[in-house]
Amino acid sequence: MSQQLLTHTLKLPSQPSEPVSVIAAPGLSDSDFRTAIGSSLFEQWLKNIQSDQGLLADGSLSLKQVLIQGVDMFGKRIGFLKFKADVIDKETGQKLPSQPSEPVSVIAAPGLSDSDFRNAIGSSLFEQWLKNIQSDQGLLADGSLFLKQVLIQGVDMFGKRIGFLKFKADVIDKETGQKVPGIVFARGPAVAVLILLESEGTTYTVLTEQVRVPVGRPVLELPAGMMDDNVGDVAGTAIREVEEETGIQLHLDDMVDLTSFLDPSTGCKVIPSPGGCDEELSLLLYRGSVSADVIKQLQGKETGLREHGELIKVQVVPYDTLWRMTPDAKVLMSVAIYEMAKRDGLLPVTN
C-alpha cells in the first residue's frame, strides 16, 4: 500500500489567485512536515519572497509548489530545513543542482531511491569530501576523531550529474564519545570574477542581479559559476560564466587569481559557510579600460539562459561604493583580498 502524500495549501497575498501546494518528500514524517511548515525558517523565507524587494514583488514570477525534503532538529527547534521551491517565470513557464580498523556505514534515508543512493556515493562531491576528511589537514588526521556512519539524505540532479548532495556524517570524538555536528550540504567548488573597468577616470564593477530563491529576493553579486566534478580549468570556467552572465568576453592572459595570494595552508580557496556547506571559491580579477558608451550598454542589460530559468540583469556600480551596495559574500571577500594584494604590491602591472 502506497503512503498517502502529505500536502498543505498556502494562499499568498502577493498571488491571491494562485494557491501554493506544499508537499512532503517521500519518507518525511507527518510530524516533521508539520514542524517544517510551521517553523520560523519557512515563515521567514515566505516573508522574504513576498517583501517589497522579494522575488514575487513585480508579478513576473509566481511560486507554484514547495517540496519539503528534510528537517534536522536541534533539540526542540529546527536547525536546518531543506526544500525545493518551484518558482515560475510567467513569461517562459520555466523553473528557476584513514581508519582501517573502523569501517564506515553509508546508508540511505527513508524514501531515497536506489539510483539516487548509488549516484550519491559514486559522485565526485562525496568522493572529494571523503578525500578532504582523510587529508593531512583533515578531521581524521590526528586520530582523535573517527567517522562512524554517513546518512545520505537527498540528491538534486543537474541534468545527468549531481548538483547538490545532502548527508549527515556521524563523526565521533574518541575521548568523550560525543558526535561532532556533521550535517553537510555538498555543492563542490565554484569560481567568481571581480571585473574592474576604468572609464573616464572612474573605476566601475560589473555585477549581476539574479533571482535567488533561497533568500527570497534578487541579489547583486559577482558573475560566478560552479565547477564541474572538482576538476577543470578555473580561469576557463570564469571566462565562460562571465560571457554567459554579462556578455563580456575576457581573455585568459588578463585574469589574476586573487585566491592564489592566500597562504598555502588555506588551499588557496575561500570557504563562505564551513559550518554547513563544502563550497570552496576561487576568486579571480579582471582589469580593463572601456569607453563611456560600453558602460551605458552594460547597465541594465538582460542576459542568462532564460530557457534554463536564468533571470539575470547586469548592473554597473562605481568601485568606490561597491562594498556598501551588496550583501554578496563573493563581492566582499574579493574586495578584501584585492585591496590587501594591492597594498602589498602583489598584483601584476596592467598595460
Which amino acid would we find at residue 178?
A: Q
Retrieve residue 64's grid coordinates: 507554484
Where are the strands (E) in 201-351, listed by range? Answer: 202-212, 217-221, 224-226, 255-257, 281-289, 302-303, 312-318
Query: What does the pLDDT read at residue 3?
Result: 47
- Of 153, 148, 175, the closest CA to residue 164 belongs to 153
Q: What does the pLDDT read at residue 289?
A: 92
Q: Which residue, chain included where needed, has cell 559557510?
A: 273
In angstroms, the Cα distances linking 158 to 37, 53, 315 are 26, 28, 27
> How remote is the C-alpha of 318 from its chain's centroid?
26
pLDDT band for 315, please (50, 70, 90 cuts).
very high
| Nine-digit cell string for 351 | 598595460
Paired strand residues for 8:
22
Question: Is residue 251 classed as helix, strand or coil in its secondary structure?
Answer: coil
What are phi and psi for residue 14, nearest 5 degrees? -75, -20
Q: How far is CA 291 from CA 32, 94, 181, 287, 300, in A?
A: 57, 36, 52, 14, 17
Residue boundaries of the structural domains of the chain: 7-89, 105-186, 190-343
Q: Which of 36-50, 81-95, 175-189 comes out lowest in average pLDDT? A: 81-95
- Dihedral sign computed on CA atoms, order 20, 21, 25, 27: positive
What is the number of residues in the chain?
Answer: 351
pLDDT at 1: 37
Q: Around Cβ 227, how many Cβ atoms within 10 Å?
A: 19
What is the rounded average pLDDT of the residues 111-126?
A: 89
Q: What's the whole-number average pLDDT of the chain?
A: 87
Does position 351 have pLDDT exceeding 60, yes or no?
A: yes
pLDDT: is 47 or 96 the higher one?
A: 47
Name the range with the highest mean pLDDT among 46-50, 55-59, 269-273. Answer: 269-273
Interval 6-34 mean pLDDT: 81
pLDDT band at 92 (very low <50, low <70, confident <90, very high): low
d(CA 277, CA 271): 8
Provide the residue type at 290 as one letter: V
pLDDT tens digit sequence for 280-294 = 999 999 999 999 999
pLDDT tens for residues 247-263? 888 888 889 999 999 99
pLDDT at 96 over 70: no
Q: Which of 49-53, 112-116, 232-236 has the lowest mean pLDDT?
A: 232-236
Position 18 scores a pLDDT of 82
Find out if CATH 3.40.50.300 is the number for domain 190-343. Answer: no
| Confidence (pTM) | 0.80
| 229, pLDDT greater than 60 | no
For residue 51, the tally of other CB atoms under 10 A from its CB is: 14
Contact yes or no for 185/163 (Cβ under 8 A):
no
Tell me what pLDDT residue 101 has: 60
